[in-house]
Structure 1
Amino acid sequence: MLELVAEHHVLTTEQLRALVFPSMSRAQHRLLHLADLGVLWRTQPYRADGGSKPFHYLLGYRGAELRAAQDGTSPPRPSTHADRLRRILESPRLGHLLGVNQFFAELADYSRRAGLGGFAADERDFGREGLHTWRSEESITEFYGNKITPDGYGCWHENGRWLGFFLEHDTGTEPLRRVADKIDRYTGSGKPYTDRFDVARRLAGMVLIWTTSARREQGLRKALQAKYSPVPVATASREHGHLDGPAGEVWSVVTAVPEQARRVRLGELPTVIGGTTDDGTPRVLAELATRPPSPLDDDDDDEGAYLDGVTDEMREANRRGLDVGDIVLTDPDLDEDTTSHRTPTRQPWQRWRRPA
């Protein structure tokens, strides 16, 4: 639990109950005890319209000392730690952060209610289903060298299928075009004379966009359909109000043909996007990662300004709205190429503890 609070900064009583405890009474009793010990620090902000919000729990100074001892590092100074807590609570992004944490807490809550397994169990238990991994924005940004900045990363396991996903939590405050443009970061750097899909080749998941309303989702999907990206993207709206929350039948994969879109459960997305590998990577990205970048063209158009690892077949499939699983990656200059060009890296879901 200390790792959860430390990595995700602030969690409410209900969120911690969903993530760690079997009941609310157990959660309240244990959290109060840890707060009294100074392991956790809690506050209950007031609502602008009256009343109080739920208790917010952050890492207390004793908790920071415990984590420093585990990591073999020096603990922060008390004043430094206090400044960190104040920055978190006074941040204009606090509501957004709590919304991201709520998304993953609801997935963990469904996992427990459905008998799939508790999230806080040993991450090495690969037989356990439900929410298997949750990484923060800072952790994933560091892992991918600041090339992408998702709001979080998770790995879901259900019916023998794994799904890695990067969450974009939309609060409705940004123009739809700006939200849609975030997908460009998951494809490549966008720099001329570089591999156009240098980022997509390394991704260990698809992109999920969790937005505020059905109307906003509809507008966002139109903006996304005008883009081309090999990275599978699915959208859902909190307005759908499914009893199973984001684990329910609320997700729709973006395709070039809107009429083909349908709502599926989170655990069904691997099938819709053409399958995933054992680490949750969409197969279309795993196949992309095995292809070497094509040499630069001699043309003067924009296409020749990039090293392109995806061929015309994939572009045409995207335009025609084919399922990702129907796309066959080929190279017109090679009959067969079975050599993997992907640099082996540890997957983000394998990094629970911070590096020393």
Structure 2
Amino acid sequence: MPALPRPASGPGSRYTARAATTRPRPTPPARRYTDIVALTHKLTERDLWLTCMVHEHRVLTAPQITRLAFSGPRSAQRRLRTLHQYAVLDSFRPLVQTGSAPEHYALGPLGAALLAAHAGCELPALGWRPSATGRIAYSPSLGHDVGVNELLTLLAAHARHTPGSGLTLWLSERSCARRWDDMIRPDVYAHWQAPSIAAESPRVLPFFLEYDTGTQSLPRVEAKLAGYAAFTTSTGTRPALLIHTRTASRDRALRHRLAQSARDLNLRVATSSMDFTTTTPWGPWWTPLEPAARRTTLTALAAHWSDLTPAAGLDPTDADTALTLPVPPLPPTTPA
């Protein structure tokens, strides 16, 4: 069997993931759960939400799941271990150059069957295959996908500690492609909501995200702006475009390259990098692509760009199913 390709960067760039991409799944004491009917009294609403989230966003790490839905690593670890034993989730841990990577979770066979049952469709219509976890583990885009989800789970979890502030909508790359692939294919579409002040309505920042890892040339990134301009013109809506890069130097290079095009196309663009956002991406780390602009917060961007409007194509249609509707960024409840 030929060797699998090695990613150019990110997890697995120096070492490939271990051959067994999923941990051995021990048999529970009473019996091995072989169908979803046996789990009807075992799975909570949070479990069902998590299954949908993992399917929507392909792969979530244990720390990302913890910050979204659990009070701490111990409670998260216990529940994730149980869901892995039930085959609702699969997991793998890629090898990295230094230290150790966290456990990565993908949709397991019973999780796929569960979602298909909820959607009233056959398993092949879900797009899941037995090799799905292995494909994710060895994918050259694994580092990119985990990076996108790291940024967005930090934004989503902010609402757990600051009520009224956080993500109210989070669409994955796959969901964006389903809606707008004829014009644009962002990594994320989301709504950031700031807490309301006095009697004012909460400010909302609708935005597309381009998560730039530095692998694409500057001209190729610049070429994407025309698609966003066409989207604004054809739909009559105007979300912001946030571009997040790995380093401050890449950020400066992008700003220099994109500034004139963004002005010519009348786009609302802001950039930042991992050097700044760290664990508080909602903070004063985003710089509008405008002359003499300074770094500011997501909330301030919403106030600065008063002409922003949510993207078109978000209303549910008769063609939607339980699998195509947006998954709430946080679970229905967040028990300990």
TM above 0.5: yes
Q: How far apart are the structure 2 equivalents of 1:275 and 1:147?
A: 21
The aligned amino acid for 1:177 is P
Structure 2 counterpart of 1:74: 122
- RCO comparison, higher one (Cα < 8 Å, 6+): 2
Match of 1:138, SS? helix
Of 249, 258, 280, the residue aligned with 2:284 is 249
Residue identity in the other structure for 1:31:
L
Q: Distance in 2 between matches of 1:187 and 1:176?
A: 18
**Whole-angstrom CA distance in 1 between matches of 2:324 and 2:281:** 31
2:89 is the counterpart of 1:40: yes
Q: 1:65 to 1:81 in 2, by over 3 A?
A: same
**Aligned length, in residue pairs:** 265
1:22 aligns with 2:58: no
Correspondence 1:354 to 2:323: yes
Contact 1:177 1:220 in 2 (8 A): no
- Equivalent residues of 2:238, 2:308 under 8 A apart: no
Q: Which residue of 2 aligns with 1:150?
A: 186
The residue that corresponds to 1:110 in the other structure is 158
CA distance in structure 2 between the aligned counterparts of 1:161 and 1:104, rounded to whole angstroms: 18
Instruction: Give the Cα–Cα distance (whole angstroms) in 1 for the partners of residues 183 and 277 of structure 2.
Output: 33
Which amino acid counterpart does residue 237 of structure 1 have in structure 2? S
Q: 1:198-257: CA deviations, max 9, x gaps?
A: 44x354521100011222211211111121222211111111256x521110011112xx
Structure 2 CA distance for partners of 1:178 and 1:345, relative to 1, 3 Å: closer
State how far apart, in whole Å, the 2-side matches of 1:88 and 1:31 are. Answer: 19
Equivalences for residues 7-18 of structure 1 within 5 A: 7-18=56-67
Distance change in 2, residues 1:97/1:59 (3 Å):
same
Q: 2:179 touches 2:313 (CA, 8 Å); kept in 1?
A: no
| Change beyond 3 A, Cα 1:208–1:185 | same
Aligned match of 1:101 in 149, 156, 159?
149
Q: Secondary structure at the match of 1:262?
A: coil
Alpha carbons 2:115, 2:323 under 8 Å: kept = no
**Displacement of 1:267:** 1.4
Asked if the contact 2:89–2:107 (Cα under 8 Å) also holds between the matched residues in 1, the reply is yes
Match of 2:301 in 1: 269
Q: Equivalents in 2 of 1:207, 1:134: separation in Å?
A: 14
1:132 deviation in Å? 1.1
CA contact (8 A) 1:8 1:136 kept: yes
- Residues 1-356 of structure 1: matches in 2 within 5 Å? 1-49=50-98, 51-76=99-124, 81-113=129-161, 115-116=162-163, 128-158=164-194, 159=196, 160-188=202-230, 198-199=233-234, 201-203=235-237, 205-227=239-261, 228-241=264-277, 245-255=280-290, 258-259=291-292, 261-277=293-309, 280=310, 345-347=313-315, 353-355=322-324
Q: After alignment, is 63-72 or 208-217 more displaced?
A: 208-217
Deviation at 1:48, TM superposition (A): 3.8
Q: 1:209 to 1:163 in 2, by over 3 A?
A: same
CA RMSD of aligned residues (A): 2.6
- SS of match in other structure, 1:274: coil
Paired with 1:202 and 1:56, the residues of 2 have a C-alpha distance of 39
- Could you tell me which runs of 5 or more consecutive residues in structure 1 were left unpaired when the two chains were aligned: 117-127, 190-196, 282-343
Q: What is the TM-score normalised by the length of structure 1?
A: 0.68
Counterpart CA distance in 2 for 1:132 and 1:2 is 19
Look up the SS of the partner of 1:99 in the other structure: helix
CA deviation map 1:28-49 (0-9, x unaligned): 1111110011111111222244
Greater CA radius of gyration, 1 or 2?
1
- Alpha-carbon distance change, 202 to 91 in structure 1, aligned in 2, over 3 angstroms: farther
CA shift in 2, pair 1:241/1:207, >3 Å: closer
